[in-house]
Structure 1
């Protein structure tokens, strides 16, 4: 029987350790965050993505909170029965993000837009719950725009703002800024940004100069 030489012994030990480490890593399941649904039974690529992403998981829980509040609001626009139907169609649209080039960015945008819709349509959804992760919609009047800009904020990390005016909307992500809150994004229209400091804001959209905005007082 051949004997293992002293020179090969350390190499074999390292190889064995490396092999066991790979097996251990393969056996360790990916980290899963709390969501509104059971991640153990997650179906589809988007649900699995949400379970693995801390920000999306927070957005999912917050959106479910807003949705349940809207269902209790008899004065919501649309009415609660239509809110429920819209939610079903929204879930189908959200899951289509799996086919997009950037599924994560698509999913973030869908959550931001839906949160805006629910908060805009229901006073109960806009109640000042200490656990809330959304604010708005807040209205801004910007130079050069005939319509008010509605802004809904998702206070996750990094934070997100959904902006909507007339037939235009965009979702931007917060980036570091020396003052105020700066949000940036890019889509097929080009680069966009929104900066806010108190009641003052600046909006930059492709094909337009910098627009100065001020918070519209609540009547």
Structure 2
């Protein structure tokens, strides 16, 4: 928890101290010169700005991993296309929701594909993917966390993915979200979790061992 609080403060101030050296973390673009509609939205929204700073850091780590899947040169190409797709969120009915989803999905891809991205990030604002097995669901669920305010959770299984946002709950960490199918909820208390899909009852889930 201490590390997480430090990471949150680090991203909020855009600086991190490590062994007496200050590393400046920033957005991948200059907010003072931002021209794209989504870039302007990111710069004035604290949650999105933290996600952008974290994304920049994850991407730079992925470029240092010769064993990443895909390899660094393909990661670079994919990132360029991802930026174009993210900026197209400006045309959506809910641009911020679209942008959050875009960041969550890309963070999941980068963390899944690179051991360096998953491990060499002491100031991280992301975790995962973590695998959950849910009663009544044949496929394992991969969960990637964005520790911003409010927190964001990306879930992916089989051919389905959904992005959820944390909501207040006194007994467990709860995330809600929706897509064209309906409403989703995910509750977590340690390694125990519960998932509710559109039109179904609550499923009991358990985190799978790592490795």
Q: TM-score range by the shorter chain?
A: 0.7 to 0.9
The 4+ residue runs of structure 1 with deviation greater than 6 A are none
Deviation for aligned residue 1:209: 1.9
Task: Give 1:110's aligned residue.
Answer: 102
Task: Give 1:141's aligned residue.
Answer: 133
Deviation for aligned residue 1:188: 1.6
Task: Give 1:132's aligned residue.
Answer: 124
Deviations 1:127-152 (A, max 9, x none): 15331100000000011111110000
CA–CA distance in structure 2, aligned partners of residues 178 and 108 of structure 1: 24
Task: Give 2:115's aligned residue.
Answer: 123
TM-score normalised by length of structure 1: 0.83
CA–CA distance in structure 1, aligned partners of residues 210 and 30 of structure 2: 40
Instruction: Pick one of 183, 208, 214 that aligns with 2:175.
Output: 183
Instruction: Pick one of 13, 20, 37 that aligns with 1:45.
Output: 37
5 Å-filtered alignment, 1:55-134, equals: 55-127=47-119, 129-134=121-126
Deviations 1:13-62 (A, max 9, x none): xxxxxxxxxxxxxxxxxxxx963310111121100000110110010010
Deviation for aligned residue 1:189: 1.1
Task: Give 2:205's aligned residue.
Answer: 213
Using CA pairs below 8 Å that are at least 6 residues apart, which structure has the higher relative contact order?
A: 2
Larger Rg over CA atoms: 1
TM-score normalised by length of structure 2: 0.86
Deviation for aligned residue 1:63: 0.5
Alignment coverage as a number of residue pairs: 187
Alpha-carbon RMSD: 1.2
